[in-house]
Amino acid sequence: MDLQKINEFAIKLIYDAGEQIRESFSKELIIETKTDANDLVTNIDCQIEQFFVKKIKELDPSHKIMGEEGLGDKIVTLDGPIWIIDPIDGTMNFIKQHRNFMITVGFFVDGVGKLGYLYDVMRNELIYAIRGEGAYIDHHPIRKLEPLTIEEAIIGINSSWVIQNGKINHEKIANLIRTVRGTRSYGSAAMEIALVVTGKLDAYLSMRLAPWDIGGGMVIAQEVGAVATNLKGEPFNLLSNDTFLIANPSIHQKLLDEFIELK
């Protein structure tokens, strides 16, 4: 399998998709509600995922596709080559802000991440990685993350996990917030992961993400030295939803040990 060639294919696909999304802002959006009001879907999500599915199947019909909109394949095993795609991560931002959303794509073979992409459509900023060959931002190499202390860290966390909730001990999260230098919340997991792998945030955690939220980011994380696991410190389960923590390697274990207590 020629990873360099697949990488070139993926980069072109993502830039093309970004162009389609930017053009869509001049057209009317047809918005329907999915399972709840917090999970909005627009016709452009489906259009972009359909575009990825079509092009990937043209490249190689044996490649399987797992996408947020469910237009690809039904994935029950990680065997073989699988694309994991979120055509628009941060749909609410997409609709309301016309910014702060991402295209994210991961390419896995037998469960091992080979290629990863995080594309900030409105900034036209592409982060990508090839397993074992480093990570790049707009084609410039990204440096390995430098160590820091918890007290110096800026952490991405949604306020839903800061108030009392059924998933995590919120008193320990309150201690975390009192300990770190600051927190941020952007409303796009892929964007927060992109900020962590480039050292603009030092960690990001969530109680519930899907494989397509983090697949691309996991490959990039490995190349810059960021540690990405679930909140038990185990590998994220790519066949279901899971908890998630990505962090600078100098604080990942300390975050798990001192501030995370799942219910």
Nearest residue to 84 via CA among 103, 60, 111, 108: 108
Which C-beta is closer to its own copies: that of 62 or that of 164?
164
- Considering only 26, 35, 62, 164, the residue that binds its own copies (CB under 8 A) is 164
Cβ of residue 92: shortest distance to its own copies, in angstroms? 6
Which C-beta is closer to its own copies: that of 3 or that of 95?
95
- Considering only 14, 66, 88, 157, the residue that binds its own copies (CB under 8 A) is 157
89 is an annotated ligand-binding site residue: yes
Give CA–CA dist 127/135, Å, rounded: 7
Q: Collect contacts of 109-113 with beta carbons under 8 A, ≥24 apart.
A: 109/1, 109/80, 109/81, 109/82, 110/78, 110/79, 110/80, 111/78, 111/79, 111/238, 113/215, 113/218, 113/219, 113/222
Which C-beta is closer to its own copies: that of 62 or that of 159?
159
Which residues ranging from 45 to 64 are in contact with its own copies (CB under 8 A)? Answer: none
Cβ of residue 3: shortest distance to its own copies, in angstroms? 31
Rounded (5°) CA angle 21-137-17:
15
Taking residues 122 to 151 in sequence order and writing x for each that binds its own copies by CB under 8 A, - otherwise, the string is -x---------------------------x
Q: Which stretch binds its own copies (CB under 8 A): 42-50, 176-184, 222-230, 238-246?
A: 176-184
Q: Does 263 bind its own copies (CB under 8 A)?
A: no
Distances (CA, A) of 108 to 92, 105, 230: 28, 10, 18
73 is an annotated ligand-binding site residue: no
Cβ of residue 242: shortest distance to its own copies, in angstroms? 21
DSSP code of residue 144 = P
Give CA–CA dist 221/88, Å, rounded: 20
DSSP code of residue 143 = P
Which tokens in the block code for residue 69?
Answer: 């909109």
Binding site for its own copies (CB under 8 A): 37-38, 92, 96-99, 123, 151, 154, 157-160, 162-164, 173-174, 177-178, 181-187, 195, 199-200
